[in-house]
Amino acid sequence: MSKKQIKLDKSDLKELQLRKQMIKQHQLTIQALDSQLVVWLLGKFFKYGLDSQKEYNFDAISGEITEAKQPQKGGGS
């Protein structure tokens, strides 16, 4: 028993390809912006006296900087 293969027509295929390409471009833009943010934040460590060996949370609304909680290791019984 064979299944009938259905394909998009050329215009729908082109539309699908363009939409996928736009999504990919937006993902690359987001990655680049995120990398720039990380570099910018790392540049603020010296200004605010933060330890570069620790992780911090930066609140974009209040401006508060808090040390990130480290998950406890081992904890199971």
| Number of domains comprising the chain | 1
* Residue 67 three-state SS: strand
Separation between Cα atoms, residue 53 and residue 22, nearest integer Å: 38
Q: Which of 38, 74, 75 is nearest to 56 (CA)?
A: 38
pLDDT digits (tens, 9 = 90+) for 40-58: 999 999 999 999 999 999 9
Q: Which domain does 42 fall in, by range?
A: 12-67
Residue 74, domain member (yes or no): no
Residue 62, domain member (yes or no): yes
Question: Pick the residue with more confidence: 60 or 75?
Answer: 60
Asked whether the whole model's pTM tops 0.75, one would answer no
